Amino acid sequence: MLTSTYYAGQSFLHTTRPLFKVLALFLVCTLLFVFDTWFVLTPICLAVFGLYGIAGIPRSEILLALRPAFWMLLFIFIVQIYFESLQLASFVILRFVTMILAASLLTLTTKTSDLIAALEQFFNRFLPEHIAETISLAFSLCFRFIPLVRQTFDEVTEAQKARGHHKDWRALATPTIIRTLKSADEISQAIIARSVETSHLSAANERRDREHS
Amino acid sequence: MIKIENVGVSKENKTILAAISVTLTEPRIGIIGSNGSGKSTFAKLLNGLERATTGAVFVNDAPIGKNNKTALGKVGFVFQNPDNQIVFPIVVEDLAFGLKKSGLSKQQIQSRITTYLEQFGLRHLLERRTHELSGGEKQLIALIGVLLMEPEIIVLDEPTTLLDLRNRSILLKLLAELPQKLIIVSHDLALMAEMDRLLWIENGNIHQDGSPEAVISAYRQFAESES
Ligand SMILES: Nc1ncnc2c1ncn2[C@@H]1O[C@H](COP(=O)(O)OP(=O)(O)OP(=O)(O)O)[C@@H](O)[C@H]1O
Ligand SMILES: [Mg+2]
């Protein structure tokens, strides 16, 4: 969930328009919450697993998608058993698992850039262009920042281990936050610098095409 | 052409650059200086990524004002840390990012990317995940991301630091052939010796400005006397 997980392939899921996939995901999550019965959850859950098969995504990726949420799910499971029942606890967990897997299916079969382009197009329909563009830049930033925080944290942890320190949350949090903020400044600069207009390129192409014809 | 007039930069009450005036016209300009002397800050001034606290910067006689879009389009910048420059998770996506507003079709963008990667012998990286690349590969991808956009002037902040010998020589050969004006910040003195003009920045000032031979030998003496 935290790093980009695009899994290249040619299945129909890979080629479906990203916007459809976003809408389908939205619909599935709504259904799961509106109708909280096994009659809805079971077919959707089976369908999601079936789609993993169709998309040709190996089982290891399913585990990877669930791993970050494991402890939280376990916690919810235990609390639910304690306060409610085993049956309800299983239902709640399976519903979360289904939603996480459905969401991962979106990121596994869609390139980040395609997803952003689709969202930009979508917002373009009812918002002025420069606002839609700003929104899509914000999405680019979000998608970039999640792995950044993760990576910075890993590096800080490693550096501290190398210096013989053990897990001390304060000692980890401070450098992680400071370094993330420092990189954040430069990443924003880079995104702005790299999203300027370069229409001279297509102009040059057209000129060349005209000369060749 | 980039003209810098009386430009100072301070941050948090600390002077990082002090009233610099210089005009950059030569095709190949190098910048050297100690760590923390202000080279990266100076380099980022040149396209408005860094704002001048005092004074003004002109790109082709137009001042970089509040809106730095024009300057950003004319002057490309390759960051010292490629991790901060690479935005997207897949190499081809990342390279395509800079061409989003080029008006080129998807195919044209694709073939442009392939051509550039082939020039560096890096075609095999096309579909790789960017966070899995080696430091040197990232540095080259970051550079290609800027070259693709064909800016008039390219500023490179320490482009050779992470490269192995082979990639360093591929890069140097390519830089030598580029039609663009280049401004290169580097500790790589062999590369700096090839420049048309060398600026030595120390303590936020231009300490010396002249031919590479003269500046490098003074810089060497300085470094040895300091240690
Ligand atoms: N955002 C900031 N806030 C405060 N000080 C800063 C900031 N950015 C840079 N500095 C300081 O400005 C000085 C110049 O930094 P700069 O990055 O330009 O140096 P440099 O010459 O590129 O060094 P290096 O060779 O290590 O890359 C340093 O002392 C640095 O600590
Ligand atoms: Mg620097």
The DSSP line for chain B is: -EEEEEEEEEETTEEEEEEEEEEE-SSEEEEE--TTSSHHHHHHHTTTSS--SEEEEEETTEE--S--HHHHHHEEEE-SSHHHH--SSBHHHHHHHTTTTS---HHHHHHHHHHHHHHTT-GGGTTSBGGGS-HHHHHHHHHHHHHTT--SEEEEESTTTT--HHHHHHHHHHHHH-SSEEEEE-S-HHHHTTSSEEEEEETTEEEEEE-HHHHHHHHHHHHHHH-
pLDDT at A4: 54
Nearest by CB: B104 against A4, A187, A201: A201
Higher pLDDT: A167 or B108? It is B108
Average pLDDT of the segment spanning B88-98:
90
pLDDT at A168: 73
Average pLDDT of the segment spanning A59-87:
89
pLDDT band, very low/low/confident/very high, at B30 (cuts 50, 70, 90) = very high
Tens digits of residue pLDDT in A154-166:
888 888 888 776 6
Could you tell me which residues of chain B have a Cβ less than 8 Å from any Cβ in chain A?
A: 44, 47, 49, 69, 72-73, 76-77, 79, 81, 83-85, 87-90, 93, 96-104, 108, 112, 127, 129, 131, 145-146, 149-150
pLDDT at A135: 82
Closest B-chain CA to A184: B84
The response to whether residue B123 sits with its C-beta less than 6 Å from ligand 1 reads no
pLDDT at B217: 96
pLDDT at A43: 95
pLDDT at A119: 85
Tens digits of residue pLDDT in B128-187:
988 889 989 999 999 999 999 999 999 999 999 989 998 899 889 889 999 999 999 999
pLDDT at A1: 35
Interface predicted TM-score (ipTM):
0.85
Bridge partners for B23 per DSSP: B3
Helix axes A86-109, A59-66, angle to 10 degrees: 110
The response to whether residue B35 sits with its C-beta less than 6 Å from ligand 1 reads yes
Answer whether B36's CB lies under 8 Å from B80's CB.
no
- Are A113 and B108 a contacting pair at CB < 8 A? no
pLDDT at B27: 96
The bound ligand whose nearest atom lies closest to the alpha carbon of B31 is 1
What is d(CA B157, CA B3) in angstroms, rounded to the nearest whole number? 19
Give domain limits for chain A.
Answer: 12-111, 127-212
Average pLDDT taken over every residue of chain B: 93
pLDDT at A2: 41
Is A3's pLDDT higher than 60? no
The response to whether residue B51 sits with its C-beta less than 6 Å from ligand 1 reads no
What is d(CA A42, CA A48) in angstroms, rounded to the nearest whole number? 10
Q: What are the angstrom distances between the C-alpha of A176 and each of A7, A51, A145, B80?
A: 29, 38, 13, 20
Contact list, B76 vs chain A (CB under 8 Å):
193
What is d(CA B76, CA A195) in angstroms, rounded to the nearest whole number? 11
Most A-contacting residue of B51, B59, B88, B130 (CB-CB within 10 A), to test interface: B88
Tens digits of residue pLDDT in B101-118:
888 999 999 999 999 999
Query: Measuring CA to CA, which residue among B127, B222, B122 is closest to residue A4?
Result: B127
The response to whether residue B13 sits with its C-beta less than 6 Å from ligand 1 reads no
Most A-contacting residue of B50, B70, B87, B132 (CB-CB within 10 A), to test interface: B87
- Centre of ligand 2 to C-alpha B40, Å, is 4
Q: Whose CA is closest to atom 3 on ligand 1?
A: B11
- Centre of ligand 1 to C-alpha B39, Å, is 8
- Are B102 and A202 a contacting pair at CB < 8 A? yes
pLDDT at B5: 95
Is A167's pLDDT higher than 70? no
- Centre of ligand 2 to C-alpha A122, Å, is 40
Q: Which of residues 127-166 of A touch B (CB under 8 A)?
A: 140, 143-144, 147, 151
The bound ligand whose nearest atom lies closest to the alpha carbon of B78 is 2
Answer whether B181's CB lies under 8 Å from B23's CB.
no
What is d(CA B2, CA B13) in angstroms, rounded to the nearest whole number? 27
Higher pLDDT: A54 or A132? It is A54
Tens digits of residue pLDDT in A96-143:
999 999 988 998 898 888 888 888 888 888 888 888 877 877 777 777
Nearest by CB: A202 against B104, B129, B145: B104
